[in-house]
Structure 1
C-alpha cells in the first residue's frame, strides 16, 4: 500500500492510494518480562515504604490485630489486643487532646487518604484539567501526604513540571466539590509543592458571645474572636493600621467593639487612648463615655480631631528622633488608636470639598507615619472601591467581611486573594451565620485566614460604660 522512499525524509513518504491517510507508528521495543516484574516489585516496595513512613500509627492499628488473627487465631488475637485497646480507651478518656494528636488524627488522615483522596485523585485531576496527556501518556500531579486535625484535611501535592499556582487556584471549586468539601484553600509549601486545605466542618457557624475583658492591661495583640481552626483570633493594633470592609450588617461593629473591649484595661491604666470618629452617629455613640472626650460625629469636628492626632504624631516624632525607633506605651506617651466608622462618608461622600481634603490628608499622614510613634488607625467602610477609599493600600492589615461582589475581595485583600480561598462574597447574609465572619490579610502573609469576631451586644457596651462611670 505504501511506497517508502530511500533516506530519512518523512515528507517524501507517499501513498499509492489517494484516499488512504499516512499513519506513522513508533518503533515497538519488547521489554523482557523479568525487567517488567523487577520494576513493578520496586515500585510496590517503594510505595509500601512511603505508606509505612507516612501512616505508621494507622497501619499499626490495622495491621497488628490482623497479623495476630492470621497467625494465632481470633481468640488469641483478641486476648492480646484487648489490653492494648483498654489502654487506648483509658488514654482517650483521661487525656483526650494528646490521644487525638498522636492517634486519632493520624488514623483519620489515613482513612481520608485511602477512601477520599487516593480513590478519587486521578478522576478529579483529569476532569478539572490538572492532569495532562502528552503523546499517549498521562501525567498526574502527585499526592504526597494527607494530614488531618479537628476541622480540616491538608493535602500536600507535588505539581507537574511547568505548572503554576494559578493553575490550581483557578480550579478551587472543581477541587472542593470533587473531594466533598465546601471550600478549598491553596497555599505554597515550597517550590513545586502546594498544600490544599479542605475543611470538614465549620467551627465559625454559630455566633461567638462577647469575650471577657482581659485582667491584665495590654496593647495587643488582643483576642477578638476565633480562627477557623478554633484557636483564638489575636488582632494586632499597636504598630500597624487595620482596614475593615464589609457590607451593611456584615459585622464591622463586632470587630470595633471587640477591639475596644480588649483594650479597656490598658485604657484604665492610662496606656491607651481611643479617639472615635462616628459620622453615622450610631455605632460609637454608645460608648462616648469610654473615649474621654475624644469623640466626634460632625464632619468638621472629625477633621479637627484628626488634625489634632496628626499634631500629636509630629510632636512625638520630633522627640523620638535620634532616640528610639519604635514606640512603647507609657503614661506620658500612650498608644493612640483612631477609630473611624464608615470612613468613606468622610473621604468620598462628604459634600464639603475643603473638609474632604483635610480629612483625606490627615488619614494619609497618620497611616504613613503614625505607627512608629504609637498612633494607629482602625477604619471601617462598606464600599472598598479606589475612588471611595484611595488610601486603602496604606493599611498593612486588612479584614474583608461579607462583600457584595467577588471583585471587591481582591480590592480589599489584594490581587489573587479570592483565588486563594477568600470567598468573602459568599458569606451568608443571615446574621446568625455570617455576621462577624470574614477573611484577614496580614502584613506578614499573603494567604487569607478565615475568622469570626465575637458579638458585643448593646448590653455589653452599656456594661462597659457603667464600669467606667
Structure 2
C-alpha cells in the first residue's frame, strides 16, 4: 500500500485507511527481566528502611511478636498480644488525649492512607488531570504523608515539576469528591510541596452559645467563638482594623456583639471605649447604654462622632510623636474601637453627597492612621463591591460570612482566597447551620480560616447592659 522508502522504513508506518495521516510507530526497548527484578527489589528495600525509620515502634511490635512466636510458640505470643491490647485500652480510657495524640491519630492516619488515599490516588490524579502522560510514560504527583486529627485529614503532596498551586486549587472539587470528603483546601508548604486538608467532621455545625464575659480586663485578642479545628477563635481588635461582610441574616451581629462582650471588663476598667455608629437603628441600639453616650444613628451625628474620633487620634499622634510608636491602653489614653454597622449606608447610599464624602474621608483617615495610637475600626456591610466600600483594602483583617456570589469572596478576602478554600458563597442560609459561620483572613496569615462566632441573644445583651451599667455607675 505504501511506496518503499529508503532505509526500509515502510514497516514502521501504521495506518488503517489510505486517507489517514501517516503515523510512526515509536521504538520499544525491552528491559531484561533481571534488571526489572533488581529495580523492584531496590525499591522494596528503600521502602522497608523508610518505614522502619519513620515508624520504629509500629515496626518493632510485629517483629517482636514474630520472634516470640518462633522461640516460644503461639500461647506465649497470644498472651503477650493480649497484654499489649489491654494496656492500650487502659491508656485510651484513662488518658484519652495523650493516647489520641501518640497512638490513635497515627493509627487512623495509617488506615486512611491505605484504605482511601493510596487506593484511589492514581484514579483521582488521572481523572482530575493532575497526572501527566508524556511519550507513553505516566508522571504522578507523589503522596508523601498523611496526618489526622479530630476533624480533618492533612495530606502532604509533592507536585510534578512545572505544576503550579493554581493547578491544584482549580481542582479542589475533584479532589474532595474523589476522596469522599465534603471539601478540600490547598495550601503551599514550600516550593513543590502542598498541604491538602480534607475535613471529616464539622465542629461548627451547631450554634455556639454566648461565651462567658472575661474576668480580667484586656484589649488583647478577644475570644468570640471557635475555629474549624476546635480551637478558640480569638479576634485581634487592638492595633488593627476589621472588615466584616455578609449577606442579610449571615450573622454579622454575632461578631459585633461578641467583640463588645469580650471588651466589657476593659471598658469597666476604663482601658477601652466603644464608639458605636448604628445607621440601621436595629443592631447596636439594643445595648446603647453600654457605649456611655458614644452612640449615633443619624448620619449627621455619625459624621460628628467620626470627626471627633479623628480629632482624638490626631491629638494622640501629636503627643506620641518622637516618644512611642505603639499604643498601650491606659485610663488617660484608652483603646477606642469605632464600631460601624452597615457602613455602606454611610459611604455609598447616603443621599447627601457632602455628608457622604465627609464620612468616607473620616473613615479613611482612621483606617490609615489610627492603629498606632490606639484607635481601631470595625465595620460591617452587606455589599463588598468597590463602589460601595472603596477603602476595604485599608482593613488588614477581613471576615467573610455567607455571600451571594463567588466573586464577592475575593472582593472581601483578597485575590485567590476562594481558590484556597474560602467557600463563603456555599455557607448554608439556614440560621441554625450557617449563621455566624465565616472565613477569616488575618494580616499575619494569608490562608483563610473557617470560624463560627458565638450567638449573643437578646437576653444576653440585656444581662450585659444591666451588669455593666450597674457596676459602671457604682464605680
Same-fold call, TM > 0.5?
Answer: yes
- The residue aligned with 2:6 is 5
- The residue aligned with 2:370 is 370
Shift, 1:26, TM fit: 3.7
CA contact (8 A) 2:14 2:23 kept: no
- The residue aligned with 2:79 is 79
CA distance in 1, matches of 2:383, 2:191: 37
CA contact (8 A) 1:348 1:356 kept: yes
- Note closer, same or farther for the CA distance 1:56–1:116 as it changes in structure 2 (3 Å cut): farther
Shift, 1:234, TM fit: 0.7
CA distance in 2, matches of 1:42, 1:193: 25
Shift, 1:216, TM fit: 0.8
Shift, 1:94, TM fit: 1.7
CA distance in 2, matches of 1:59, 1:301: 72
Shift, 1:95, TM fit: 1.3
Query: Structure 1 residue 267 and structure 2 residue 267: aligned?
Result: yes
When structure 1 is superposed on structure 2, of 40-49 and 280-289 the one drifting more is: 40-49
When structure 1 is superposed on structure 2, of 38-47 and 19-28 the one drifting more is: 19-28
CA contact (8 A) 1:370 1:376 kept: yes
Aligned length in residues: 465
- The residue aligned with 2:435 is 435
Q: Deviations over 1:101-127 (max 9, x none)?
A: 000000000000000000000000000
- The residue aligned with 1:36 is 36
Relative to the length of structure 2, the TM-score reads 0.93
Shift, 1:36, TM fit: 1.7
Query: Structure 1 residue 136 and structure 2 residue 121: aligned?
Result: no
CA distance in 2, matches of 1:293, 1:78: 76
CA distance in 1, matches of 2:324, 2:418: 39
CA distance in 1, matches of 2:294, 2:81: 70
CA contact (8 A) 1:57 1:107 kept: no
CA contact (8 A) 2:14 2:25 kept: no
Shift, 1:27, TM fit: 3.8
- The residue aligned with 1:199 is 199
SS across alignment from 1:198: strand
SS across alignment from 2:89: helix
Q: Deviations over 1:148-189 (max 9, x none)?
A: 001000000000000000000000000001001000000001
- The residue aligned with 1:445 is 445
- The residue aligned with 1:279 is 279
Shift, 1:33, TM fit: 2.6
Q: How does 1:53-452 map to 2 (within 5 A)?
A: 53-59=53-59, 73-452=73-452
Shift, 1:241, TM fit: 0.1
Q: Deviations over 1:16-65 (max 9, x none)?
A: x9668644344444433322211110111222333344445555566655
- Note closer, same or farther for the CA distance 1:33–1:321 as it changes in structure 2 (3 Å cut): same
Relative to the length of structure 1, the TM-score reads 0.95
CA contact (8 A) 1:172 1:184 kept: yes
- Note closer, same or farther for the CA distance 1:62–1:287 as it changes in structure 2 (3 Å cut): farther
CA distance in 1, matches of 2:57, 2:232: 30
When structure 1 is superposed on structure 2, of 22-31 and 216-225 the one drifting more is: 22-31
Shift, 1:85, TM fit: 1.8
- Note closer, same or farther for the CA distance 1:208–1:64 as it changes in structure 2 (3 Å cut): farther
SS across alignment from 2:311: helix
Give the superposed CA RMSD. 2.1
CA contact (8 A) 1:227 1:233 kept: yes
- Note closer, same or farther for the CA distance 1:202–1:354 as it changes in structure 2 (3 Å cut): same
CA distance in 1, matches of 2:364, 2:318: 19
CA distance in 1, matches of 2:175, 2:393: 32
CA distance in 1, matches of 2:219, 2:209: 22
SS across alignment from 1:447: strand
When structure 1 is superposed on structure 2, of 32-41 and 118-127 the one drifting more is: 32-41
Unaligned runs of 5+ in 2: 471-475
CA distance in 1, matches of 2:242, 2:20: 71
Unaligned runs of 5+ in 1: none
